[in-house]
């Protein structure tokens, strides 16, 4: 099949992460050149209404778009590739955000030579603070990575890693926002236990999370140094830290992230069956 030059982006799968990326991209550069393909007609209509992007069928979207961004569940990617395969050629750039799914699995379901880039984004892309991590498949070169990076840089930071690190990346930054939201939920509950109104507790914790994140990013200091600066001798913070250690919170976080890694590996293996 001859390689064809095309323009624009098709987001295939308009769920949580598809919408997070779509909203950031539209906010940054407008809706021109972006189309969505969504299995659910109701959801497709919602995205068209919200972002002014046309909803197309797979074949039409592939015919006109240069970049095909696959944002369906890992469990659905085999079916999607079966439907899409004949409409894809090496003039496309396929970008997959499916957790765990290796580029080799995607390449094997597509015509020979199609460049594939695996990306692990996260939902803070919704507010232009995303973390997207890229790896090249067998037919993707530096220019393809540059192209994917230019697209995703619109919604936050971008880094590149060897694909062997993507399951760990998925467990850290892909799932990571959920861990922070979970911690914040628990901290708000603590405020309620101590008698504060829910809105006040939420306001205190969200601003504290934001301020702490900016310090982590900008101070150049290690998290241990930042924590020590809060922990006065004989004070309140050390009383709290002792409880966190007593309940094994550090070990629980490490085990949780290891479980996310293992699930990413498992999701990738399920594609081979």
Task: Output the smallest distance, CB 241 to ligand NAI, in A.
Answer: 30
- For ligand NAI, the binding residues (CB under 6 A) are 12-18, 37-40, 43, 71-74, 76, 79-80, 83, 97-99, 120-123, 174
Task: Output the smallest distance, CB 262 to ligand NAI, in A.
Answer: 15
Among 102, 115, 156, 174, binds ligand A1CAB (CB under 6 A): 174
Task: Output the smallest distance, CB 210 to ligand NAI, in A.
Answer: 20
Would you list which residues are annotated within the binding site?
Answer: 71-74
User: Mind giving me the DSSP string for 50-85?
Assistant: HH---B--HHHHHHH-SEEEE-S-HHHHHHHHHHHG
Does position 124 interact with ligand A1CAB (CB under 6 A)? The reply is no
Q: Which is nearer to ligand NAI, 171 or 201 (CB)?
A: 171
Does position 99 interact with ligand A1CAB (CB under 6 A)? The reply is yes
Place of tokens 């996310």: 260
Running DSSP on this structure, what letter comes out for residue 174? I
Q: Are 103 and 96 in contact (CB under 8 A)?
A: yes
Name the burial class of residue 72, with classes exposed (0-12), middle (13-18) and buried (19+) by CB atoms within 10 angstroms of its CB: buried
Task: Output the smallest distance, CB 114 to ligand NAI, in A.
Answer: 18
| Alpha-carbon gap, residue 264 to 170, rounded angstroms | 7
| Alpha-carbon gap, residue 147 to 137, rounded angstroms | 14
Does position 18 interact with ligand A1CAB (CB under 6 A)? The reply is no
Among 158, 170, 188, 205, binds ligand A1CAB (CB under 6 A): 170
Q: Which is nearer to ligand NAI, 20 or 145 (CB)?
A: 20
> Nearest-CA neighbor of 15 among 59, 99, 73, 101?
73
């Amino acid at each position: 099949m001859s390689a064809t030059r095309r323009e624009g982006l098709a987001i295939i799968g308009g769920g949580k992460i598809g919408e997070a990326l779509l909203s950031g991209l539209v906010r940054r550069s407008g809706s021109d050149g972006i189309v969505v393909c969504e299995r659910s007609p109701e959801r497709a209509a919602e995205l068209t209404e919200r972002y002014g992007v046309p909803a197309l069928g797979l074949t039409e979207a592939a015919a006109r778009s240069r970049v095909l961004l696959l944002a369906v569940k890992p469990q659905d990617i085999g079916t999607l590739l079966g439907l899409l395969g004949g409409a894809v050629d090496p003039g496309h750039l396929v970008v997959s955000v499916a957790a765990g799914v290796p580029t080799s699995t995607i390449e094997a379901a597509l015509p020979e030579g199609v460049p594939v880039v695996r990306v692990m984004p996260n939902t803070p892309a919704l507010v232009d603070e995303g973390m997207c991590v890229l790896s090249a498949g067998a037919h993707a070169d530096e220019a393809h990575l540059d192209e994917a990076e230019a697209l995703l840089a619109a919604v936050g930071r971008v880094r590149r890693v060897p694909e062997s690190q993507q399951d760990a990346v998925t467990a850290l930054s892909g799932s990571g926002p959920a861990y922070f939201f979970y911690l914040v939920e628990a901290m708000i509950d603590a405020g309620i236990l101590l008698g504060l109104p829910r809105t006040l507790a939420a306001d205190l914790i969200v601003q504290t999370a934001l301020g702490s994140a900016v310090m982590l990013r900008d101070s150049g200091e290690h998290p241990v140094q930042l924590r020590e600066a809060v922990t006065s001798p004989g004070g309140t913070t050390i009383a709290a830290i002792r409880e966190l250690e007593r309940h094994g919170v550090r070990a629980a976080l490490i085990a949780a992230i290891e479980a996310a890694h293992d699930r990413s590996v498992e999701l990738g293996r399920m594609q081979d069956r």
